[in-house]
A and B are shown apart, each in its own frame.
Chain A
Protein backbone atom coordinates (compact mmCIF):
# COMPACT_ATOMS: atom_id res chain seq x y z
CA UNK A 1 0.00 0.00 0.00
CA UNK A 2 2.99 2.26 0.49
CA UNK A 3 3.72 4.45 -2.49
CA UNK A 4 7.43 5.02 -2.67
CA UNK A 5 8.13 5.44 -6.35
CA UNK A 6 7.36 9.16 -6.47
CA UNK A 7 10.24 9.89 -4.14
CA UNK A 8 12.70 8.40 -6.57
CA UNK A 9 10.81 10.01 -9.44
CA UNK A 10 11.59 13.40 -7.92
CA UNK A 11 15.32 12.66 -8.09
CA UNK A 12 15.02 11.40 -11.65
CA UNK A 13 13.11 14.50 -12.71
CA UNK A 14 15.55 16.86 -11.00
CA UNK A 15 18.50 15.10 -12.64
CA UNK A 16 16.69 15.45 -15.97
CA UNK A 17 16.17 19.18 -15.43
CA UNK A 18 19.78 19.58 -14.37
CA UNK A 19 21.12 17.77 -17.44
CA UNK A 20 18.66 19.13 -19.97
CA UNK A 21 18.72 22.61 -18.49
CA UNK A 22 22.50 22.81 -18.52
CA UNK A 23 23.28 20.95 -21.76
CA UNK A 24 20.97 22.59 -24.26
CA UNK A 25 22.82 25.56 -25.74
CA UNK A 26 21.50 29.05 -26.20
CA UNK A 27 20.63 30.25 -29.66
CA UNK A 28 23.07 32.68 -31.28
CA UNK A 29 22.78 36.30 -30.27
CA UNK A 30 24.40 39.69 -30.58
CA UNK A 31 25.96 41.08 -27.43
CA UNK A 32 26.94 44.50 -28.63
CA UNK A 33 27.13 46.67 -31.73
CA UNK A 34 29.54 49.60 -31.66
CA UNK A 35 29.18 52.43 -32.37
CA UNK A 36 25.59 52.29 -31.22
CA UNK A 37 24.60 55.54 -32.97
CA UNK A 38 25.23 56.77 -36.48
CA UNK A 39 24.06 59.43 -38.91
CA UNK A 40 22.66 58.48 -42.31
CA UNK A 41 23.87 59.44 -45.72
CA UNK A 42 27.39 58.03 -45.56
CA UNK A 43 29.30 54.80 -45.27
CA UNK A 44 29.27 53.52 -41.70
CA UNK A 45 31.08 50.52 -40.29
CA UNK A 46 30.14 48.67 -37.13
CA UNK A 47 31.86 46.19 -34.85
CA UNK A 48 29.50 43.35 -33.97
CA UNK A 49 30.12 41.08 -30.99
CA UNK A 50 28.19 37.85 -31.03
CA UNK A 51 27.38 35.15 -28.53
CA UNK A 52 27.29 31.45 -29.47
CA UNK A 53 27.96 32.50 -33.02
CA UNK A 54 30.27 30.72 -35.52
CA UNK A 55 30.97 33.37 -38.12
CA UNK A 56 34.03 31.49 -39.41
CA UNK A 57 31.96 28.48 -40.41
CA UNK A 58 30.01 30.27 -43.11
CA UNK A 59 31.12 31.47 -46.50
CA UNK A 60 28.39 34.04 -46.92
CA UNK A 61 26.74 35.85 -44.05
CA UNK A 62 23.89 38.29 -44.42
CA UNK A 63 24.14 41.28 -42.11
CA UNK A 64 20.99 43.40 -42.21
CA UNK A 65 19.81 46.59 -40.52
CA UNK A 66 16.03 46.69 -40.17
CA UNK A 67 13.83 49.69 -39.44
CA UNK A 68 10.50 47.99 -40.07
CA UNK A 69 9.08 45.29 -42.34
CA UNK A 70 9.27 47.54 -45.39
CA UNK A 71 12.69 49.08 -44.76
CA UNK A 72 15.77 46.88 -44.47
CA UNK A 73 19.35 47.39 -45.53
CA UNK A 74 21.91 44.69 -46.37
CA UNK A 75 25.55 45.32 -45.53
CA UNK A 76 27.75 46.53 -48.36
CA UNK A 77 30.68 44.56 -47.03
CA UNK A 78 31.74 42.57 -43.99
CA UNK A 79 34.84 40.91 -42.60
CA UNK A 80 34.98 38.10 -40.06
CA UNK A 81 37.55 38.73 -37.32
CA UNK A 82 36.77 35.69 -35.23
CA UNK A 83 33.90 33.36 -34.42
CA UNK A 84 32.28 36.05 -32.31
CA UNK A 85 33.57 39.24 -33.86
CA UNK A 86 32.48 40.69 -37.19
CA UNK A 87 32.99 44.06 -38.88
CA UNK A 88 30.17 45.17 -41.14
CA UNK A 89 30.00 48.20 -43.42
CA UNK A 90 26.73 49.79 -44.51
CA UNK A 91 26.00 52.50 -47.05
CA UNK A 92 23.23 54.09 -45.03
CA UNK A 93 20.72 56.04 -47.12
CA UNK A 94 18.76 58.87 -45.53
CA UNK A 95 15.69 57.95 -43.49
CA UNK A 96 12.72 56.82 -45.62
CA UNK A 97 9.76 59.12 -46.25
CA UNK A 98 7.21 59.36 -43.47
CA UNK A 99 9.57 58.23 -40.71
CA UNK A 100 10.93 60.09 -37.76
CA UNK A 101 14.28 61.83 -38.04
CA UNK A 102 15.86 59.37 -35.64
CA UNK A 103 14.94 55.76 -35.23
CA UNK A 104 16.32 52.56 -33.70
CA UNK A 105 17.33 49.89 -36.16
CA UNK A 106 17.43 46.17 -35.46
CA UNK A 107 20.53 44.21 -36.38
CA UNK A 108 19.94 40.81 -37.96
CA UNK A 109 22.69 38.33 -38.83
CA UNK A 110 22.04 35.03 -40.59
CA UNK A 111 23.37 32.44 -40.59
CA UNK A 112 25.14 33.16 -37.35
CA UNK A 113 25.43 29.76 -35.73
CA UNK A 114 22.56 27.36 -35.36
CA UNK A 115 20.27 30.10 -36.66
CA UNK A 116 19.66 33.81 -36.82
CA UNK A 117 21.09 36.33 -34.36
CA UNK A 118 18.95 39.38 -33.69
CA UNK A 119 19.53 42.48 -31.55
CA UNK A 120 16.55 44.85 -31.33
CA UNK A 121 17.37 48.58 -31.08
CA UNK A 122 20.98 47.85 -31.95
CA UNK A 123 21.79 51.14 -33.66
CA UNK A 124 20.22 54.55 -33.28
CA UNK A 125 20.09 56.11 -36.73
CA UNK A 126 19.85 59.88 -37.15
CA UNK A 127 19.22 61.79 -40.34
CA UNK A 128 22.41 63.46 -41.50
CA UNK A 129 23.26 65.25 -44.75
CA UNK A 130 21.98 62.70 -47.23
CA UNK A 131 22.51 62.01 -50.87
CA UNK A 132 26.04 60.63 -50.99
CA UNK A 133 25.07 56.94 -51.15
CA UNK A 134 23.26 55.11 -53.89
CA UNK A 135 21.61 52.33 -51.83
CA UNK A 136 17.92 52.06 -50.97
CA UNK A 137 15.83 50.58 -48.20
CA UNK A 138 14.33 47.29 -49.36
CA UNK A 139 11.37 45.32 -47.92
CA UNK A 140 12.10 42.40 -45.60
CA UNK A 141 10.51 39.93 -48.04
CA UNK A 142 13.63 40.21 -50.19
CA UNK A 143 15.51 38.18 -47.61
CA UNK A 144 14.81 34.66 -46.48
CA UNK A 145 15.70 34.30 -42.85
CA UNK A 146 16.71 30.86 -41.77
CA UNK A 147 14.42 29.55 -39.07
CA UNK A 148 16.51 28.42 -36.15
CA UNK A 149 16.95 24.68 -36.18
CA UNK A 150 18.06 22.39 -33.41
CA UNK A 151 17.25 22.37 -29.74
CA UNK A 152 18.16 25.63 -28.00
CA UNK A 153 17.02 28.10 -25.38
CA UNK A 154 16.22 31.65 -26.44
CA UNK A 155 19.01 34.20 -26.20
CA UNK A 156 18.16 37.32 -24.14
CA UNK A 157 20.67 40.07 -24.01
CA UNK A 158 21.16 40.81 -20.31
CA UNK A 159 20.06 37.41 -19.10
CA UNK A 160 22.38 35.39 -21.36
CA UNK A 161 22.99 31.92 -19.92
CA UNK A 162 21.25 32.86 -16.70
CA UNK A 163 17.93 32.32 -18.51
CA UNK A 164 18.50 28.75 -17.31
CA UNK A 165 17.73 30.00 -13.81
CA UNK A 166 14.09 29.76 -14.79
CA UNK A 167 14.36 26.07 -13.92
CA UNK A 168 16.27 26.57 -10.69
CA UNK A 169 14.81 29.78 -9.28
CA UNK A 170 11.31 30.29 -10.68
CA UNK A 171 10.46 26.61 -10.30
CA UNK A 172 11.32 26.90 -6.59
CA UNK A 173 8.59 29.51 -6.07
CA UNK A 174 5.98 27.36 -7.77
CA UNK A 175 7.07 24.39 -5.67
CA UNK A 176 6.83 26.53 -2.54
CA UNK A 177 3.26 27.49 -3.38
CA UNK A 178 2.32 23.85 -3.87
CA UNK A 179 3.98 22.77 -0.62
CA UNK A 180 2.35 25.58 1.36
CA UNK A 181 -0.94 24.75 -0.35
CA UNK A 182 -0.57 21.17 0.84
CA UNK A 183 0.12 22.49 4.33
CA UNK A 184 -3.16 24.43 4.20
CA UNK A 185 -5.08 21.40 2.96
CA UNK A 186 -3.76 19.39 5.92
CA UNK A 187 -4.86 22.19 8.24
CA UNK A 188 -8.37 21.96 6.78
CA UNK A 189 -8.33 18.19 7.23
CA UNK A 190 -7.27 18.67 10.83
CA UNK A 191 -10.15 21.04 11.55
CA UNK A 192 -12.55 18.58 9.93
CA UNK A 193 -11.36 15.47 11.73
CA UNK A 194 -9.57 16.60 14.87
CA UNK A 195 -6.84 14.05 14.22
CA UNK A 196 -3.52 15.48 15.46
CA UNK A 197 -1.59 13.72 12.66
CA UNK A 198 -2.95 16.19 10.14
CA UNK A 199 -1.79 19.08 12.28
CA UNK A 200 1.73 17.65 12.47
CA UNK A 201 1.67 17.20 8.70
CA UNK A 202 0.61 20.80 8.19
CA UNK A 203 3.49 21.91 10.39
CA UNK A 204 6.00 19.71 8.55
CA UNK A 205 4.91 20.99 5.13
CA UNK A 206 5.04 24.59 6.33
CA UNK A 207 8.61 24.07 7.55
CA UNK A 208 9.73 22.76 4.19
CA UNK A 209 7.77 25.50 2.43
CA UNK A 210 9.71 28.11 4.38
CA UNK A 211 13.03 26.45 3.54
CA UNK A 212 12.12 26.45 -0.15
CA UNK A 213 11.05 30.09 0.16
CA UNK A 214 14.37 31.07 1.73
CA UNK A 215 16.15 29.22 -1.08
CA UNK A 216 13.97 31.09 -3.58
CA UNK A 217 14.93 34.44 -2.07
CA UNK A 218 18.63 33.55 -1.88
CA UNK A 219 18.79 32.32 -5.48
CA UNK A 220 16.74 35.30 -6.60
CA UNK A 221 19.22 37.65 -4.95
CA UNK A 222 22.13 36.01 -6.73
CA UNK A 223 20.32 36.29 -10.05
CA UNK A 224 19.26 39.88 -9.39
CA UNK A 225 22.78 40.95 -8.44
CA UNK A 226 24.01 39.78 -11.84
CA UNK A 227 21.20 41.06 -14.03
CA UNK A 228 19.61 44.05 -12.27
CA UNK A 229 22.87 45.12 -10.65
CA UNK A 230 21.60 44.98 -7.09
CA UNK A 231 20.84 41.98 -4.92
CA UNK A 232 17.87 43.64 -3.28
CA UNK A 233 16.14 46.46 -5.11
CA UNK A 234 12.83 46.56 -3.19
CA UNK A 235 11.10 45.17 -6.21
CA UNK A 236 7.49 44.51 -5.32
CA UNK A 237 7.81 40.76 -5.81
CA UNK A 238 10.91 40.60 -3.63
CA UNK A 239 9.13 42.51 -0.91
CA UNK A 240 6.04 40.36 -1.15
CA UNK A 241 8.12 37.20 -1.01
CA UNK A 242 9.84 38.44 2.13
CA UNK A 243 6.48 39.25 3.71
CA UNK A 244 5.16 35.83 2.75
CA UNK A 245 8.06 34.30 4.66
CA UNK A 246 7.28 36.56 7.62
CA UNK A 247 3.72 35.23 7.63
CA UNK A 248 4.93 31.66 7.92
CA UNK A 249 7.58 32.51 10.49
CA UNK A 250 4.74 34.06 12.49
CA UNK A 251 2.95 30.72 12.11
CA UNK A 252 5.76 29.02 14.00
CA UNK A 253 5.89 31.75 16.62
CA UNK A 254 2.19 31.10 17.12
CA UNK A 255 2.80 27.37 17.43
CA UNK A 256 5.39 27.81 20.14
CA UNK A 257 3.36 30.31 22.12
CA UNK A 258 0.24 28.20 22.72
CA UNK A 259 0.70 25.70 25.51
CA UNK A 260 -2.26 23.38 25.21
CA UNK A 261 -1.88 20.82 22.43
CA UNK A 262 -5.43 20.77 21.10
CA UNK A 263 -5.67 24.51 21.32
CA UNK A 264 -2.35 24.96 19.56
CA UNK A 265 -3.43 22.67 16.76
CA UNK A 266 -6.74 24.47 16.30
CA UNK A 267 -5.31 27.97 16.48
CA UNK A 268 -2.40 27.30 14.16
CA UNK A 269 -4.64 25.49 11.68
CA UNK A 270 -6.97 28.49 11.58
CA UNK A 271 -4.03 30.86 11.13
CA UNK A 272 -2.50 28.67 8.44
CA UNK A 273 -5.66 28.78 6.35
CA UNK A 274 -6.05 32.51 6.90
CA UNK A 275 -2.38 33.16 6.08
CA UNK A 276 -2.51 31.14 2.87
CA UNK A 277 -5.58 33.08 1.79
CA UNK A 278 -3.74 36.38 2.26
CA UNK A 279 -0.69 34.96 0.50
CA UNK A 280 -2.60 34.70 -2.77
CA UNK A 281 -3.25 38.45 -3.14
CA UNK A 282 0.23 39.06 -1.79
CA UNK A 283 2.03 37.03 -4.42
CA UNK A 284 -0.32 37.09 -7.38
CA UNK A 285 -2.57 40.14 -7.30
CA UNK A 286 -0.61 43.03 -5.78
CA UNK A 287 2.59 42.56 -7.89
CA UNK A 288 0.53 42.81 -11.07
CA UNK A 289 -0.73 46.25 -10.14
CA UNK A 290 2.65 47.77 -9.40
CA UNK A 291 5.60 48.27 -11.74
CA UNK A 292 8.19 45.58 -11.30
CA UNK A 293 11.42 44.33 -12.76
CA UNK A 294 10.02 40.81 -12.82
CA UNK A 295 8.15 39.59 -15.86
CA UNK A 296 4.41 39.39 -15.39
CA UNK A 297 3.86 42.83 -13.90
CA UNK A 298 1.85 45.85 -14.89
CA UNK A 299 -0.97 43.70 -16.22
CA UNK A 300 1.09 41.23 -18.24
CA UNK A 301 0.50 37.56 -17.76
CA UNK A 302 3.36 36.01 -15.83
CA UNK A 303 5.64 33.52 -17.55
CA UNK A 304 4.17 33.53 -20.99
CA UNK A 305 4.83 34.58 -24.53
CA UNK A 306 8.33 35.89 -24.96
CA UNK A 307 9.70 34.74 -21.63
CA UNK A 308 9.00 31.06 -21.94
CA UNK A 309 9.22 29.24 -25.25
CA UNK A 310 8.33 25.65 -25.96
CA UNK A 311 11.84 24.31 -25.40
CA UNK A 312 11.96 25.96 -22.00
CA UNK A 313 8.57 24.52 -21.10
CA UNK A 314 10.07 21.06 -21.66
CA UNK A 315 12.34 21.71 -18.69
CA UNK A 316 10.38 24.25 -16.66
CA UNK A 317 7.27 22.18 -15.94
CA UNK A 318 9.21 19.03 -14.96
CA UNK A 319 11.39 21.23 -12.74
CA UNK A 320 8.30 22.40 -10.85
CA UNK A 321 7.08 18.83 -10.45
CA UNK A 322 10.53 17.66 -9.39
CA UNK A 323 11.00 20.31 -6.71
CA UNK A 324 7.46 19.78 -5.42
CA UNK A 325 7.94 16.03 -5.12
CA UNK A 326 11.32 16.46 -3.42
CA UNK A 327 9.73 18.96 -1.04
CA UNK A 328 6.93 16.51 -0.31
CA UNK A 329 9.46 13.76 0.37
CA UNK A 330 11.42 15.88 2.83
CA UNK A 331 8.15 17.00 4.42
CA UNK A 332 7.20 13.37 4.94
CA UNK A 333 10.49 12.80 6.73
CA UNK A 334 9.87 15.82 8.96
CA UNK A 335 6.34 14.60 9.65
CA UNK A 336 7.59 11.16 10.69
CA UNK A 337 10.09 12.79 13.02
CA UNK A 338 7.41 15.05 14.50
CA UNK A 339 5.10 12.10 15.01
CA UNK A 340 7.71 10.05 16.86
CA UNK A 341 8.59 13.09 18.92
CA UNK A 342 4.95 13.69 19.73
CA UNK A 343 4.50 10.06 20.76
CA UNK A 344 7.62 10.13 22.92
CA UNK A 345 6.49 13.28 24.66
CA UNK A 346 3.00 12.04 25.28
CA UNK A 347 4.41 8.89 26.91
CA UNK A 348 6.79 11.06 28.93
CA UNK A 349 9.74 9.34 27.32
CA UNK A 350 11.51 12.61 26.67
CA UNK A 351 11.48 15.90 28.51
CA UNK A 352 8.64 18.27 27.75
CA UNK A 353 9.72 21.48 26.18
Chain B
Protein backbone atom coordinates (compact mmCIF):
# COMPACT_ATOMS: atom_id res chain seq x y z
CA UNK B 1 0.00 0.00 0.00
CA UNK B 2 2.69 2.35 1.12
CA UNK B 3 4.80 1.36 -1.81
CA UNK B 4 2.07 2.09 -4.29
CA UNK B 5 1.40 5.44 -2.76
CA UNK B 6 5.08 6.20 -2.90
CA UNK B 7 5.14 5.20 -6.57
CA UNK B 8 2.19 7.45 -7.34
CA UNK B 9 3.74 10.30 -5.46
CA UNK B 10 6.72 10.08 -7.75
CA UNK B 11 4.63 9.75 -10.88
CA UNK B 12 2.07 12.50 -10.38
CA UNK B 13 4.42 15.49 -10.38
CA UNK B 14 6.04 14.30 -13.61
CA UNK B 15 2.69 13.95 -15.33
CA UNK B 16 1.68 17.29 -13.89
CA UNK B 17 4.85 18.89 -15.20
CA UNK B 18 4.26 17.39 -18.63
CA UNK B 19 0.74 18.76 -18.75
CA UNK B 20 1.89 22.18 -17.61
CA UNK B 21 4.65 22.18 -20.19
CA UNK B 22 2.21 21.12 -22.88
CA UNK B 23 -0.25 23.79 -21.87
CA UNK B 24 2.53 26.37 -21.93
CA UNK B 25 3.50 25.22 -25.41
CA UNK B 26 -0.09 25.44 -26.62
CA UNK B 27 -0.41 28.88 -25.09
CA UNK B 28 2.74 30.13 -26.75
CA UNK B 29 1.59 28.75 -30.11
CA UNK B 30 -1.74 30.53 -29.74
CA UNK B 31 0.13 33.71 -28.88
CA UNK B 32 2.34 33.25 -31.90
CA UNK B 33 -0.72 32.93 -34.15
CA UNK B 34 -2.23 36.02 -32.62
CA UNK B 35 1.01 37.99 -33.00
CA UNK B 36 1.28 37.09 -36.66
CA UNK B 37 -2.33 38.03 -37.23
CA UNK B 38 -1.90 41.28 -35.32
CA UNK B 39 1.30 42.30 -37.03
CA UNK B 40 0.01 41.50 -40.51
CA UNK B 41 -2.95 43.77 -39.82
CA UNK B 42 -4.45 43.30 -43.26
CA UNK B 43 -5.78 39.85 -42.42
CA UNK B 44 -7.60 40.95 -39.31
CA UNK B 45 -8.81 44.27 -40.67
CA UNK B 46 -9.87 42.56 -43.88
CA UNK B 47 -11.95 40.13 -41.84
CA UNK B 48 -13.55 42.93 -39.87
CA UNK B 49 -14.31 44.88 -43.03
CA UNK B 50 -15.81 41.77 -44.62
CA UNK B 51 -17.99 41.25 -41.56
CA UNK B 52 -19.19 44.83 -41.42
CA UNK B 53 -19.91 44.99 -45.15
CA UNK B 54 -21.82 41.73 -45.08
CA UNK B 55 -24.00 42.81 -42.16
CA UNK B 56 -24.57 46.18 -43.83
CA UNK B 57 -25.63 44.66 -47.13
CA UNK B 58 -28.00 42.29 -45.40
CA UNK B 59 -29.59 44.95 -43.22
CA UNK B 60 -30.02 47.44 -46.09
CA UNK B 61 -31.46 44.91 -48.51
CA UNK B 62 -33.89 43.36 -46.07
CA UNK B 63 -35.40 46.44 -44.42
CA UNK B 64 -37.78 44.45 -42.25
CA UNK B 65 -36.73 41.16 -40.74
CA UNK B 66 -39.05 38.72 -38.97
CA UNK B 67 -37.59 36.59 -36.21
CA UNK B 68 -37.32 33.29 -38.15
CA UNK B 69 -35.55 35.16 -40.95
CA UNK B 70 -33.28 36.87 -38.44
CA UNK B 71 -32.41 33.48 -37.03
CA UNK B 72 -31.41 32.04 -40.38
CA UNK B 73 -29.62 35.23 -41.47
CA UNK B 74 -27.49 35.21 -38.36
CA UNK B 75 -26.25 31.71 -39.09
CA UNK B 76 -25.63 32.39 -42.75
CA UNK B 77 -23.57 35.45 -41.86
CA UNK B 78 -21.74 33.37 -39.28
CA UNK B 79 -21.07 30.64 -41.81
CA UNK B 80 -19.55 33.02 -44.35
CA UNK B 81 -17.53 35.07 -41.90
CA UNK B 82 -16.40 31.95 -40.04
CA UNK B 83 -15.21 30.19 -43.17
CA UNK B 84 -13.38 33.32 -44.26
CA UNK B 85 -11.76 33.69 -40.87
CA UNK B 86 -10.56 30.14 -40.39
CA UNK B 87 -9.83 28.72 -43.79
CA UNK B 88 -6.84 30.95 -44.42
CA UNK B 89 -5.37 30.40 -40.96
CA UNK B 90 -3.50 27.28 -41.89
CA UNK B 91 -2.14 28.66 -45.11
CA UNK B 92 0.54 30.59 -43.31
CA UNK B 93 1.88 27.27 -42.03
CA UNK B 94 3.66 26.34 -45.22
CA UNK B 95 7.09 26.51 -46.74
CA UNK B 96 10.01 27.01 -44.39
CA UNK B 97 7.91 27.80 -41.38
CA UNK B 98 6.25 24.40 -41.67
CA UNK B 99 9.58 22.57 -41.67
CA UNK B 100 10.70 24.65 -38.72
CA UNK B 101 7.59 23.78 -36.73
CA UNK B 102 7.88 20.12 -37.70
CA UNK B 103 11.30 19.98 -36.11
CA UNK B 104 10.18 21.69 -32.97
CA UNK B 105 6.82 20.41 -31.82
CA UNK B 106 4.45 17.52 -31.61
CA UNK B 107 1.67 17.66 -34.28
CA UNK B 108 -1.03 17.21 -31.66
CA UNK B 109 0.12 20.27 -29.77
CA UNK B 110 -0.03 22.27 -32.98
CA UNK B 111 -3.52 21.00 -33.84
CA UNK B 112 -4.88 21.72 -30.37
CA UNK B 113 -3.46 25.23 -30.36
CA UNK B 114 -4.84 25.92 -33.84
CA UNK B 115 -8.25 24.61 -32.87
CA UNK B 116 -8.44 26.65 -29.69
CA UNK B 117 -7.31 29.77 -31.54
CA UNK B 118 -9.95 29.26 -34.23
CA UNK B 119 -12.71 28.53 -31.74
CA UNK B 120 -11.98 31.77 -29.92
CA UNK B 121 -11.78 33.68 -33.21
CA UNK B 122 -15.12 32.23 -34.34
CA UNK B 123 -16.76 33.05 -31.04
CA UNK B 124 -15.57 36.64 -31.28
CA UNK B 125 -16.86 36.82 -34.87
CA UNK B 126 -20.26 35.50 -33.76
CA UNK B 127 -20.38 38.03 -30.94
CA UNK B 128 -19.54 40.84 -33.35
CA UNK B 129 -22.22 39.75 -35.83
CA UNK B 130 -24.76 39.50 -33.02
CA UNK B 131 -23.75 42.90 -31.68
CA UNK B 132 -23.89 44.61 -35.06
CA UNK B 133 -27.24 43.04 -35.94
CA UNK B 134 -28.64 44.19 -32.59
CA UNK B 135 -27.48 47.74 -33.29
CA UNK B 136 -29.27 47.96 -36.62
CA UNK B 137 -32.32 45.80 -35.93
CA UNK B 138 -34.02 45.04 -32.65
CA UNK B 139 -32.88 41.55 -31.87
CA UNK B 140 -35.60 38.93 -31.33
CA UNK B 141 -33.44 36.97 -28.87
CA UNK B 142 -35.29 36.57 -25.58
CA UNK B 143 -32.89 34.44 -23.58
CA UNK B 144 -29.55 36.16 -24.20
CA UNK B 145 -27.44 33.87 -22.02
CA UNK B 146 -28.83 30.77 -23.70
CA UNK B 147 -28.12 32.36 -27.07
CA UNK B 148 -24.54 33.11 -26.05
CA UNK B 149 -24.23 29.51 -24.88
CA UNK B 150 -25.52 28.34 -28.25
CA UNK B 151 -23.08 30.40 -30.29
CA UNK B 152 -20.25 29.28 -28.00
CA UNK B 153 -21.18 25.62 -28.53
CA UNK B 154 -21.53 26.02 -32.28
CA UNK B 155 -18.24 27.95 -32.42
CA UNK B 156 -16.52 24.95 -30.86
CA UNK B 157 -17.95 22.57 -33.48
CA UNK B 158 -17.23 24.99 -36.31
CA UNK B 159 -13.71 25.52 -35.04
CA UNK B 160 -12.95 21.80 -34.94
CA UNK B 161 -14.48 21.15 -38.37
CA UNK B 162 -13.01 24.15 -40.14
CA UNK B 163 -9.52 23.68 -38.70
CA UNK B 164 -9.42 20.15 -40.01
CA UNK B 165 -10.93 21.12 -43.35
CA UNK B 166 -8.38 23.89 -43.82
CA UNK B 167 -5.58 21.45 -43.08
CA UNK B 168 -6.92 19.00 -45.67
CA UNK B 169 -7.53 21.70 -48.26
CA UNK B 170 -4.02 22.99 -47.73
CA UNK B 171 -2.62 19.74 -49.12
CA UNK B 172 -4.05 20.56 -52.53
CA UNK B 173 -2.92 23.13 -55.02
CA UNK B 174 -6.04 25.28 -55.11
CA UNK B 175 -6.82 25.22 -51.46
CA UNK B 176 -9.20 28.17 -51.22
CA UNK B 177 -11.81 26.79 -53.62
CA UNK B 178 -11.39 23.27 -52.35
CA UNK B 179 -11.88 24.32 -48.74
CA UNK B 180 -15.27 25.78 -49.55
CA UNK B 181 -16.30 22.71 -51.56
CA UNK B 182 -15.41 20.20 -48.90
CA UNK B 183 -16.30 22.46 -45.99
CA UNK B 184 -19.96 23.23 -46.67
CA UNK B 185 -21.40 19.72 -46.58
CA UNK B 186 -19.38 18.78 -43.52
CA UNK B 187 -20.58 21.85 -41.62
CA UNK B 188 -24.22 21.38 -42.49
CA UNK B 189 -25.33 19.11 -39.61
CA UNK B 190 -23.75 21.49 -37.12
CA UNK B 191 -25.41 24.45 -38.82
CA UNK B 192 -28.85 22.84 -38.76
CA UNK B 193 -28.46 22.03 -35.08
CA UNK B 194 -27.36 25.62 -34.47
CA UNK B 195 -30.41 27.03 -36.27
CA UNK B 196 -32.65 24.82 -34.17
CA UNK B 197 -30.97 25.78 -30.92
CA UNK B 198 -31.12 29.53 -31.52
CA UNK B 199 -34.74 29.14 -32.60
CA UNK B 200 -35.40 28.02 -29.04
CA UNK B 201 -33.80 31.18 -27.70
CA UNK B 202 -35.98 33.47 -29.83
CA UNK B 203 -39.09 31.72 -28.62
CA UNK B 204 -40.00 29.58 -31.62
CA UNK B 205 -41.30 26.17 -30.66
CA UNK B 206 -39.30 23.51 -32.41
CA UNK B 207 -40.43 20.47 -30.45
CA UNK B 208 -38.10 18.62 -28.12
CA UNK B 209 -35.67 20.08 -25.62
CA UNK B 210 -32.68 22.32 -26.26
CA UNK B 211 -30.57 20.11 -23.96
CA UNK B 212 -30.96 17.32 -26.52
CA UNK B 213 -29.38 19.48 -29.20
CA UNK B 214 -26.54 20.43 -26.85
CA UNK B 215 -25.90 16.74 -26.28
CA UNK B 216 -25.85 16.02 -30.00
CA UNK B 217 -23.48 18.92 -30.64
CA UNK B 218 -21.22 17.67 -27.84
CA UNK B 219 -21.25 14.16 -29.31
CA UNK B 220 -20.37 15.50 -32.77
CA UNK B 221 -17.60 17.63 -31.19
CA UNK B 222 -16.08 14.69 -29.36
CA UNK B 223 -16.23 12.45 -32.42
CA UNK B 224 -14.72 14.99 -34.80
CA UNK B 225 -12.06 16.17 -32.32
CA UNK B 226 -11.01 12.58 -31.68
CA UNK B 227 -10.84 11.90 -35.41
CA UNK B 228 -8.86 15.02 -36.20
CA UNK B 229 -6.40 14.28 -33.37
CA UNK B 230 -5.94 10.81 -34.82
CA UNK B 231 -5.74 11.85 -38.47
CA UNK B 232 -3.66 15.02 -38.22
CA UNK B 233 -0.27 13.32 -37.79
CA UNK B 234 -0.81 11.55 -41.14
CA UNK B 235 -1.38 14.87 -42.85
CA UNK B 236 1.37 16.74 -41.07
CA UNK B 237 4.31 14.63 -42.17
CA UNK B 238 5.54 14.97 -45.71
Contact = CB atoms under 8 A, between A and B. Distances in A.
- Is any CB of A less than 8 Å from a CB of B in the complex? yes
Interface of A: 191, 243-244, 246-247, 250-251, 253-254, 257-259, 263, 266-267, 269-271, 273-275, 277-278, 281-282, 285-286, 289-291, 298-299
B185 A247 contact: yes
Given A266-B171, A289-B212, 12 more contacts: A254-B168, A263-B171, A267-B172, A273-B231, A274-B168, A274-B186, A274-B224, A281-B219, A285-B189, A289-B193, A289-B196, A291-B207
A208 to B, nearest CB: 19
Contacts, number: 87
12 contacts: A246-B185, A257-B174, A258-B172, A263-B171, A271-B168, A273-B231, A274-B164, A274-B227, A278-B161, A278-B189, A282-B189, A299-B208
Contact of A281 (B178, B182, B216, B228): B216
A289 B208 contact: yes
Interface of B: 161, 164, 168, 171-174, 178, 181-182, 184-186, 188-189, 192-193, 196, 207-208, 212-213, 216, 219-220, 223-224, 227-228, 231, 234-235, 238
Contacts of A243: 185, 188
Contacts of B168: 254, 267, 270-271, 274
A278 B216 CA distance: 12
Contacts of B231: 191, 270, 273-274
Contacts of A251: 182
Contact of B178 (A244, A257, A270, A274): A257
Contacts of B185: 243-244, 246-247, 250, 275, 278
Contacts of B208: 289, 299
A290 B234 CA distance: 37
B184 A246 contact: yes
B173 A259 contact: yes
Q: Name which of B189, B196, B238 has the most chain A CB atoms within 10 A of its CB.
A: B189
Given A274-B164, A289-B208, A253 B182 contact: yes
A247 B187 CA distance: 10
Q: In terms of DSSP, what is the predominant structure of the interface of chain A?
A: helix
B216 A270 contact: no
B224 to A, nearest CB: 6
A240 B221 CA distance: 19
A186 to B, nearest CB: 15
Given A278-B224, A282-B189, A254 B234 contact: no
A273 B186 CA distance: 12
Contact of A273 (B178, B184, B227): B227
B234 A270 contact: yes
Contacts of A282: 188-189
Contacts of A286: 189, 192-193
A64 B235 CA distance: 70
Contacts of B172: 254, 257-258, 267
Give the interface centre of B184, B188, B219 by most chain A CB atoms within 10 Å: B188
Contacts of A274: 164, 168, 186, 224, 227-228, 231
A266 B212 CA distance: 35
Contacts of B220: 278, 281
Nearest to B216: A285
Nearest to B184: A246
Given A274-B224, A278-B189, A253 B178 contact: yes
B26 to A, nearest CB: 22
B23 to A, nearest CB: 26
Contacts of A275: 185-186
Nearest to B182: A250
A191 B224 CA distance: 17
A251 B172 CA distance: 12
Nearest to A272: B231
Give me the 7 closest cross-chain CB pairs, A-B, nearest first. Answer: A257-B172, A250-B182, A247-B185, A270-B231, A267-B171, A246-B185, A281-B189
B64 to A, nearest CB: 25
Contacts of A291: 207
A194 B67 CA distance: 52
Nearest to A274: B227
**Most chain A beta-carbon contacts within 10 A, residue among B196, B208, B219, B231:** B231
A271 B188 contact: no
Contacts of A273: 227, 231
Contacts of A270: 168, 231, 234-235
Nearest to A245: B185
A253 B179 CA distance: 11
Contact of B223 (A246, A250, A277, A298): A277
B181 A250 contact: yes
Contacts of B182: 247, 250-251, 253-254, 271
A281 B178 CA distance: 23
Contacts of B193: 286, 289
Nearest to A242: B185
